[in-house]
Amino acid sequence: MHGLHENFGIGESSVATVNDFPVITPQSLDEALDVLASVQNVRPLAGGTDLMVLLESGALRPCTFLNIQELPELKSPDGMTALTTYRDIRASHWKTRFPMLAAAAREVGALAIQSRGTWIGNVANASPAADGVPALMAYDAELEIARKGERRRVPLANFYRGYKQMDLRPDELITEIHLPSPSPGFVEYFRKVGARRFQAISKTLLAGRIRFAADSTIADIRLVFASVAPFTLRAFQTEALLRGRPLTQESIADAAKAIQDEIRPIDDIRSTEAYRRRVTANLLRDFLEGLIT
């Protein structure tokens, strides 16, 4: 849904249409991984909320779609699998344990998108403006990645290497997201800045969590931003600057300055670098200043 402006390298003389995309619908996860291992140019297809838009625009290079919607191993009511949608999370126990996930899900498109769009699809689409990724990253999400004969886990915070570059091989499928139980005492903040209230691609976004020690210094903190870097940005350096310090006007001012060095916002069709810089700092301040006691 975000990536129409992103050209998948289709030359001007070529445009792919519906007839250029065969589909394989495996009946088991093993079969799916077999396909990924032996067939060239395969893309997993779950809810389709990103891929269908790209396909319709003609910008998608012809490929074979691996329709994973029927995989029994992924139909898990409790886990967060490759088929778990935003809607699945807005209801249920997830809301109590991981409130930011519900907050993020609410900001994705509108209801009809939320019933189809998947969290893992959001991760794999790797848009820097992804709405689901920041909250997952703030909860220290780990991706379970499968290929034929192998499983591995990657922290989401380490998953992105560059614009649309991730630690994912063409023969791999992200099957599940694991979220460690959150420690008690975290205060959370989620705010997406868009051109209108819903149905907007973010100009900037902060998913933040903070926990204080008994002496009121910052025991632990997560600051994750969207749309201000080539990928979802975990602001490790600004976090490090704050960890162990008390929350004061001074430490907040330092953090607001430090974040400017970590983010790399740009001018684009939706907004400006200047706006993103200033509003990102405002989000950080809005989060932290509200907590000074």
Query: Which residues in this chain contact other proteins in the complex, by CB under 8 A?
Result: 1, 4-5, 12-15, 17-19, 21-26, 35, 38-41, 45, 47-49, 52-53, 55-58, 64-65, 67, 69, 87, 90-91, 109-113, 115-116, 191, 193, 195-201, 203, 269-272, 274-275, 278-279, 282-283, 286
Question: Minimum distance from CB of 215 to other proteins (Å)?
Answer: 30
Q: Nearer to other proteins by C-beta: 46 or 166?
A: 46
H or E, element range at 154: strand 150-155
Q: Nearer to other proteins by C-beta: 168 or 194?
A: 194
Which one-letter amino acid corresponds to residue 287?
F
Which residues are CB-neighbours of 171 under 8 A, at least 6 positions away? 33, 36, 37, 147, 148
Q: Nearer to other proteins by C-beta: 193 or 229?
A: 193
Question: Minimum distance from CB of 17 to other proteins (Å)?
Answer: 4
Judged by DSSP in three states, 162 sits in strand
Q: Nearer to other proteins by C-beta: 52 or 179?
A: 52
Q: Rounded to an integer, what distance in angstroms lies between the CA atom of residue 39 and that of residue 33?
A: 10
Q: Rounded to an integer, what distance in angstroms lies between the CA atom of residue 189 and that of residue 81?
A: 25
How do strand 64-67 and strand 187-193 relate by DSSP bridges? unpaired
Question: Minimum distance from CB of 270 to other proteins (Å)?
Answer: 7
Tell me how many helices (H) and strands (E) the chain has. 11, 13
Question: Minimum distance from CB of 51 to other proteins (Å)?
Answer: 9
Q: Nearer to other proteins by C-beta: 49 or 84?
A: 49
Question: Minimum distance from CB of 36 to other proteins (Å)?
Answer: 11
Q: Nearer to other proteins by C-beta: 4 or 253?
A: 4
Report CA dihedral (284, 154, 100, 130) to the nearest 10 degrees.
70
Q: Nearer to other proteins by C-beta: 63 or 143?
A: 63
Retrieve residue 72's tokens.
Answer: 């029994």
* Alpha helices (H) along the chain: 29-38, 51-57, 86-90, 94-97, 99-106, 111-114, 119-125, 132-138, 236-242, 249-262, 273-289
| Nearest residue to 80 via CA among 89, 71, 70 | 89
Question: Minimum distance from CB of 262 to other proteins (Å)?
Answer: 19
Question: Minimum distance from CB of 92 to other proteins (Å)?
Answer: 12
Residue 5 contacts residue 269 (beta carbons within 8 Å): yes
